[in-house]
A and B are shown apart, each in its own frame.
Chain A
Amino acid sequence: MKNITIDWTDALAGILFILFGLLFGVQSLGLEIGTAFRMGPGYFPLVLSGILILLGLAIIASAIHDRGSEAIGTLAWRGAFFILPAPIFFGLTVRGLGFVPAIFLTTLIAALASFKMRPHSALLLAAAVTVFATLVFSYGLGLPFRRFGPWLPF
């Protein structure tokens, strides 16, 4: 007797692919499909979405097997919570605050993602990165960044 188990990692992956397939497939339907000979913008993505859904189903099917499954393991919640917003924050503030404060705060936010980072060393690191990046990109390469933006009073 073999023990039938479901590998949840694979099953979840399959579900994710199916969701992506549905998301793009439904949107493709809103585009002109055209014919195989004169394809519209929706034709190719629709076909691809269909294939993606089929592959997702196949992955789910193959997740049911007798090999035992594997745990997903720990998740980097704290990391994700600070790392992912860092580039978003930079995008939101680089024009308004200007390059210098934006890069300082972005580095600071990213630094908070680690348990090992002490507040004062995070500040020090952010300051060092800011000085280096400003010297290299703004002064050295003359990239068209405003160092201090219109949101700041000076």
Chain B
Amino acid sequence: MDLISNLSLGFATAASPENLFFCLIGVILGTLIGVLPGIGATATIAMLLPITFQLEPVSSLIMLAGIYYGAQYGGSTTAILINMPGESSSAVTAIDGYQMARKGKAGTALAVAALGSFFAGTVATLLVALFAPPLTTIALKFGAAEYFSLMVLGLVSAIALAHGSILKALAMVVLGLILGLVGTDIYTGAPRFTFGITEYADGLSFVALAVGVFGIAEILRNLEGEQDRTVLGTKLGGLFPSRQDLKRMVAPMLRGTAIGSVLGILPGGGAVLASFASYTVEKRISDHPEEFGQGAIAGVAGPESANNAGAQTSFIPLLTLGIPANPVMALMVGAMIIQGIVPGPNVASEQPELFWGIIASMWIGNLMLVILNLPLIGLWVKLLKVPYHVLFPIIMAFCSIGVYSVNSNVYDLYAVAFFGLMGYALLKLRCEPAPLLLGFVLGPMLEENLRRAMILGRGDPTVFVTRPISLTLLLLTVAVLVVMLLPAIRKKRDEVFVEAD
């Protein structure tokens, strides 16, 4: 019963009044900063990191974990309320969450997101506690070929993110892939598509792209018919989900949790796929796929659960290998090092208090998030009552600060303006931004792993089918394609398209 004693050690550590306090402060600060438009989890943690340096190591990391969950939830809130995602995962939440908000169901969307996240967080925390070491072994089996095949699967699924024309969705994915390649080629050092601007050598900023094509494009669209309509908040509806809503979120939540948990383990960028994958699955198996993109509860519950589960299990590589799986984890490692803890494979045995304390605090953090946020929903929703012409200048101010604060790079701000224009043009041409964003996130990983697999395989393209995991993923891709291109389904899509317009 190692698990029990370990977990009780963890809870004893995490539940000390002091640590509970810092966890709470972390969750609150994370939510409050993360909810500001254009400021995602990474930026929030980077901003709040210095605050934690003065604390004891365990408290500091517990507070950071709290900030992380808070920021993620705060990010989803902004995505739902004003269509301004600060992280790739909340871009998916924005699709249906924002539509729900426009229909006066912002409260429901926020509650569904909170409950889904909490459930997923609970399950994933247990998974981390139970299976961290064996799961790591699986994760290490993923090499370049496997990641490439996984990304291909992700891309093919991306088409489901759009509810309009398949062709346009595909074109948006490809455009996103190309935009993702902007910057220095890691293999040769050659700058690509940077137009001679050194500031873009490390690529375009995701936040700039997301804020531009989602947020600013939406603001401009809302400003079109200013005179004749109030944009949001005419009717706010019930704050909390009805019994029926709750029933409808259960299955997506379970599936999302499973998908997110699995993908989050992969240190090479599986977690970014989690919410996209969940959305695709939900839309595919739904009896009412036409609701997706129009405010489907499953389109919020699934991805939010997947995202939070993935966020949780992405701690596994950090805790068992000492290797950060994403920029947020890299910040956590930095914090550990400053505290004099160098994360490595032995952290669990050398620092059991820290290891289990963090795991326990993940759950406590999630619990606090729910307790804190359910009452806050009323407040967030009230924000929508602020007249739009007052709200959007505030949004512009904060997203300028948010984008700039990540790297103090003014060119990121110029990119925001450019992508705002591009996003608005594409919106007017009825091209949806979500596939573009997925392409943008996957582009570099797709190319990197393709080229790496070819180098490691000595130029033999069969590596993708001779390695079993890679082969399985490719077969899955083919299956998805077949399902998608079946004539019957295609016809249904076209009908949806007509209806939607």
Contacts and interface: CB of A to CB of B under 8 A. Distances in A.
Interface of A: 9-10, 12-13, 16-17, 20, 24, 27-28, 31-32, 35-42, 44-45, 48-49, 51-52, 55-56, 58-59, 62, 67, 70, 72-76, 78-80, 83-88, 90-92, 94-95, 103, 106-108, 110-111, 113-117, 121-122, 125-126, 129, 133, 137, 141-144
Contacts of B336: none
Nearest to A126: B393
B31 to A, nearest CB: 14
Interface in B430-462: 430-431, 447, 450-451, 454-455, 458-461
B393 A111 contact: yes
A41 B426 contact: no
A36 B429 CA distance: 35
Given A110-B392, A114-B226, A121-B390, 13 more contacts: A13-B429, A13-B431, A27-B193, A37-B459, A41-B187, A59-B168, A76-B424, A78-B223, A83-B219, A86-B400, A117-B390, A122-B393, A137-B401
Contacts of A113: 223, 392-393
Interface in B19-40: 33
B250 interface: no
A70 B425 CA distance: 15
Most buried by A among B178, B420, B430, B431: B178
Contacts of B171: 13, 17, 52, 55-56, 59
Contact of A59 (B33, B167, B390, B461): B167
Contact of B454 (A16, A36, A92, A137): A36
Contacts of A142: 50
B224 A13 contact: no
Contact of B426 (A13, A90, A103, A141): A13
B396 A106 contact: yes
Nearest to B399: A87
A143 B414 contact: no
Contact of A90 (B187, B393, B413, B450): B413
B63 to A, nearest CB: 14
Given A16-B425, A20-B175, A115-B227, A110 B396 contact: yes
A16 B174 CA distance: 13
- Classify chain B's interface size: 35 or more
Contact of B413 (A72, A83, A91, A129): A91
Q: Top 7 closest A-B pairs, CB basis?
A: A37-B459, A79-B223, A91-B413, A91-B410, A41-B185, A114-B389, A110-B396
A24 B178 contact: yes
A67 to B, nearest CB: 8
A41 B188 CA distance: 7
B394 interface: yes
A143 B416 contact: no
Contacts of B226: 114-116
A62 B447 contact: no
Contacts of A38: 454-455, 459
A142 to B, nearest CB: 7
B393 A55 contact: no
A24 B447 contact: no
B216 interface: yes
Contacts of B181: 44-45, 48
Q: Is the interface of A mostly helix, strand, loop or mixed?
A: helix
Contacts of B426: 13, 16
B416 A87 contact: yes
Of listed A27, A133, A141, residue having the most chain B CB within 10 A: A141
Interface of B: 33, 47-48, 50-51, 165, 167-168, 170-171, 174-175, 177-178, 181, 185, 187-188, 190, 192-193, 216, 219-221, 223-227, 387-390, 392-394, 396-401, 403-405, 408, 410-414, 416-417, 420-421, 424-426, 428-431, 447, 450-451, 454-455, 458-461, 498, 501
8 contacts: A36-B459, A44-B447, A52-B175, A55-B167, A116-B389, A137-B401, A141-B47, A141-B48
A54 B501 CA distance: 26
A137 B121 CA distance: 30
Contact of A83 (B47, B216, B390): B216
Residue with the highest number of chain B CB atoms closer than 10 Å, among A38, A58, A86, A115: A86
A31 B168 CA distance: 28
A80 B303 CA distance: 32
A28 B177 CA distance: 14
A91 B412 CA distance: 8
B174 A48 contact: yes
Contacts of B167: 55, 58-59, 62
Contacts of B394: 107, 125, 129
A135 to B, nearest CB: 13
B195 to A, nearest CB: 9
Nearest to A72: B428
A143 B405 contact: yes
Given A73-B224, A78-B223, A87-B416, A31 B410 contact: no
Given A52-B171, A95-B410, A107 B224 contact: no
B175 A37 contact: no
Contact of A88 (B168, B417, B425, B458): B417
B397 A129 contact: yes
A111 B188 CA distance: 45
Contact of B397 (A20, A52, A106): A106
A91 B404 contact: yes
A24 B417 contact: no
Contact of B417 (A87, A103, A111, A126): A87
A112 to B, nearest CB: 9
B223 A9 contact: no
Nearest to A88: B417
Contacts of B399: 87
B410 A94 contact: yes
B193 A51 contact: no
